Amino acid sequence: MNLFEKEALIRQKAEELETASPQEIIKFAVETFPNITFACSFGAEDVVLVDMLQKISPKTDIFYLDTDFHFKETYETRDKMAEIYNLKFVEVKPAITPEEQASQFGEELWKSDASHCCNIRKVDPLTQILSKYEAWITGIRRDQAPTRANAKKIEYDTKFGLVKFNPIANWTSEDVWNYIRTNNVYYNPLHDNHYPSIGCEHCTRQVMPGEDPRAGRWSGQEKTECGLHK
């Protein structure tokens, strides 16, 4: 399928599947683009999609970006889910170690230039892994942030050059947690300790009642995205 054909299909299906269930979108995605992957960060949205994907297409690749700076609870969630579903997550690492990063760019780069740190440890590795696929699945939701408000269920990702599926784009946080409770899905225990959005340990703090759910990400900075999503 060439780019023109993909774009035509995306435009057609984005409208047709806007009201489709996440499972229907995942089924369409894996059947239409066999060379597809799912990007998992082990947050609430992503554990939901892992559960759905294992029921629909258990052989589809699931990768995660190991920034070397995740909370221990995030790594424990990875290990627990691998055990529950009998799967092996594809580990994607940055080109340089934390020690090399400190040597080249100074200690605690996330404090002096968080975007540069994200580029090294997230965006560049993501670019590398996505170059191997023709489509990817994400767990973004429209109500998470203004930058995600216009996300379509199916769209062409111009930044990375492939088709992007956002099966739960129209879900609320309540929808996510209803699925987790109904299907007894394992989730990151940090969510029970005021961490609605979980990133790297250095750049994520607890969110207190009344704060925006993403207030704990890059707190005190204008930054609201790591660069993986527009």
Which residues are tagged catalytic? 226
Give the residue ranges of DSSP H helices in the chain: 3-16, 22-32, 44-56, 72-85, 98-105, 109-112, 114-118, 124-130, 173-182
Neighbours of 64 (CB within 10 A): 20
| Euclidean distance between CA atoms 228 and 230, whole angstroms | 7
Angle formed by the axes of helices 44-56 and 173-182, to 10°? Answer: 50
| Euclidean distance between CA atoms 17 and 78, whole angstroms | 30
Inter-residue contact 10 to 121 (CB < 8 Å): no
Q: Within the chain, what is the greatest distance between any pair of CA atoms?
A: 51
| Euclidean distance between CA atoms 1 and 126, whole angstroms | 23
